[in-house]
Amino acid sequence: MTNRYETCIELDVGRSCTITPKVLDRDNLQLTLALQSKKADGKTAHLIVTQVLTRPGKPLEVAVGDMDITLTPEIAQE
- Average pLDDT value for the chain: 90
Tell me the backbone φ, ψ of residue 55, rounded to 5 degrees: -115, 140
Global pTM reads 0.84
Q: Which of 54, 45, 49, 61 is nearest to 75 (CA)?
A: 54
pLDDT per position as a tens digit, 35-70: 999 999 989 999 999 999 999 999 999 988 888 889
